[in-house]
Amino acid sequence: MSEVRNLKVALLGCGNVGAQVARILIDDADALAARSGARLELSGIAVRNIDTPRDVELPRELFTTDAETLVKDADLVIELMGGIEPARSLILTAVRNGACVVTGNKALLAQDGPTLYEEADKAGVQLSYEAAVAGAIPILRPIRDSLSGDRITRVLGIVNGTTNFILDQMDTTGAQFADALAEAQRLGYAEADPTADVEGHDAAAKAAILASLSFHTRFSLDDVYCEGITKVTASDIASAKEAGFVIKLLAIAEKIESPDNGSGISVRVHPTLLPREHPLAAVRGAFNAVFIEAENAGELMFYGQGAGGTPTASAVLGDLVSAARRLVLGGPGRTETTTGYVQPLPVEASTTSYYIGLDVADQPGVLARIAHIFAENGVSIEIMRQTIHRDSSSAVESAELKIVTHRASEAALAATVEAVKGLDVINSVTSVLRVEGV
Ligand SMILES: NC(=O)C1=CN([C@@H]2O[C@H](COP(=O)(O)OP(=O)(O)OC[C@H]3O[C@@H](n4cnc5c(N)ncnc54)[C@H](OP(=O)(O)O)[C@@H]3O)[C@@H](O)[C@H]2O)C=CC1
Ligand SMILES: N[C@@H](CC=O)C(=O)O
């Protein structure tokens, strides 16, 4: 029998995800060897501080603070440190030395992916990053491989576990934003700096990666319109709920025809109202889901755990086995297929439905005056609902008006809201949120 090849695996980072990857590499060594055709020997783990307590008990002699030396002697490198530097330089060193790299670092890929992919292709090694989008869910390989014979027209995803967890807690238990965020951090979902989650930057990085693979073009963070969840209030959530909606942070990448900009791809991340019966509305806690529309396949939905050490480690190990198999067979395969035939479009080029909450004086003719302004600005109303608020003597104090529009452009909507604000019967505009799925 021929001898099984030994491949040296260098692990960079031993935090939420890295610790679980190390555990699986050690505990499941035999199964991984059988599946990949090579023994995957964990040759070392680079960290900032060797004495930091770990979630998993691991041999102390594996730890080092000298990541550079560890990388130079590896066949396979797993980067789970996060951040831009030194992750970027270490990945470049690894590929230039002929090592295949697996990473979950979406921030780095969205900022400087093309340099890394080019270097990997030049060196003839594989750079894989399934864990970078939607944690455990196999989504990048299906887009890149399984759907490579189709044309994707739209991708709609809940791709950040932390914000989905926070919004879900606020919606179902009435939890405060700060408490829900602290719990997401404790459970290992949040980024080292959770601003990246709550301001939408993490979802935007994932949206750039999804859009690049789906539309065979290179999108970077700069091409993604981004709005996080920090401005979503408990009252937005309550009033959306009352109207039959749930608020989700959605990443959207879609092919559109814009009268001013021509045809292209709109990539955006923002809080969005979804009807409660929409499949994505049922995605709870830190779960993620990606909904894809393709010309021939039709609608597809991928669902699973989008964050957390163990689920994410599953995606990392999948990439590692796949890279090891290719090393055993010889040849890396292609990292991505970029044809660059579509342009990214600004958010102003996209249209969407909107939910507008208004606090209005309860006077005759108010609804007609408001409806007139919408019509004047070319924004068509789909639903208009009024709730009367009374004081203790049952006298009418004010009315709450909830409006859902048909698809309208950002500019038309902004002009409508400005004009409505100018009416003497408007006490305040309480919400302006985008809606999908109506
Ligand atoms: N957590 C999750 O659910 C998911 C995370 N990811 C991505 O995976 C990556 C890792 O995430 P996560 O495990 O949560 O991160 P953590 O912050 O938990 O862990 C980071 C690890 O990297 C080490 N590290 C950081 N900087 C350096 C450095 N300069 N030199 C050496 N070691 C360093 C840290 O060392 P020390 O312990 O000594 O401080 C720590 O062990 C990130 O890119 C993240 O975006 C992707 C999908 C899901
Ligand atoms: N912070 C991220 C982790 C996974 O990518 C999230 O909450 O989704």
Residues 219 and 210: their CA atoms lie apart, in Å, by 9
Give all domains of the chain, ordered by start, each with its CATH number: 5-132+310-329 (3.40.50.720), 140-307 (3.30.360.10), 350-435 (3.30.70.260)
Cα angle 240-243-244, degrees, rounded to a multiple of 5: 90
The rounded Å distance from CA 16 to ligand 1 centre is 7
Ligand 1 atom with the smallest distance to the CA of 161 is 3
Q: Provide the H-helix boundaries in 243-350.
A: 309-329
Tell me if 228 CB under 6 Å of ligand 1: no
The rounded Å distance from CA 263 to ligand 2 centre is 32
Which ligand is nearest to the Cα of residue 288, counting in written order?
A: 2
ipTM value for the complex: 0.99
Pairing of strands 381-390, 344-345: unpaired
* Annotated binding-site members for NADP(+): 12-19
Residue 396: what pLDDT? 60
- Let me know: does 44 contact 62? Beta carbons within 8 Å: yes
Mutate to test the pocket of ligand 2, among 140, 159, 162 (most ligand atoms within 8 A of CB): 162
Tell me if 131 CB under 6 Å of ligand 1: yes
Residue/partner pairs of 178-183 with CB below 8 Å, 24 or more apart:
none
Residue of 203, 222, 219 lying closest to 211 (CA atoms): 219
Residues 209 and 109: their CA atoms lie apart, in Å, by 7
Give the DSSP letter of residue 363.
-
The rounded Å distance from CA 142 to ligand 2 centre is 20
Contacts of 60 (CB under 8 A, 6+ apart): 50
Residues 133 and 113: their CA atoms lie apart, in Å, by 14
At position 291, the amino acid (one-letter code) is F
Ligand 2 atom with the smallest distance to the CA of 197 is 1
Residue 395: what pLDDT? 61
The rounded Å distance from CA 53 to ligand 1 centre is 14
Cis peptide before 364 (omega within 30 of 0): no
The rounded Å distance from CA 248 to ligand 2 centre is 15
Residues 291 and 303: their CA atoms lie apart, in Å, by 9
Ligand 2 atom with the smallest distance to the CA of 312 is 4
Residue 1: what pLDDT? 45
- Let me know: does 319 contact 128? Beta carbons within 8 Å: yes
Mutate to test the pocket of ligand 2, among 109, 140, 191, 199 (most ligand atoms within 8 A of CB): 191
Residue of 11, 47, 31, 104 lying closest to 309 (CA atoms): 104
Which ligand is nearest to the Cα of residue 157, counting in written order?
A: 2
Q: What would you measure as the largest C-alpha separation in the chain, in angstroms?
A: 91
Tell me if 52 CB under 6 Å of ligand 1: yes
Residue of 177, 235, 230 lying closest to 428 (CA atoms): 235
Global confidence as pTM: 0.89
Q: Structure tokens of 132?
A: 């970078």
Sites in the chain below the pLDDT cut of 50? 1
Which residue's alpha carbon is at the smallest distance from atom 4 of ligand 2? Answer: 307
How many Cβ atoms sit within 10 Å of the Cβ of residue 33? 19
Residue 75: what pLDDT? 97
Tell me if 13 CB under 6 Å of ligand 1: yes
Q: Structure tokens of 363?
A: 């006077």
Catalytic residue among 72, 122, 206, 231: 206
pLDDT tens digit string along 31-54? 999 999 999 999 999 999 999 999
Ligand 2 atom with the smallest distance to the CA of 159 is 8
Which ligand is nearest to the Cα of residue 131, counting in written order?
A: 1
Residue 398: what pLDDT? 81
In the residue annotation, 241 being an active-site residue is answered as no
pLDDT tens digit string along 8-19? 999 999 999 999
Residue 166: what pLDDT? 97
The rounded Å distance from CA 105 to ligand 1 centre is 9
Contacts of 141 (CB under 8 A, 6+ apart): 130
How many Cβ atoms sit within 10 Å of the Cβ of residue 207? 31
Cis peptide before 86 (omega within 30 of 0): yes
Residues 210 and 405: their CA atoms lie apart, in Å, by 28
Three-state SS for 157? strand
Tell me if 308 CB under 6 Å of ligand 1: yes
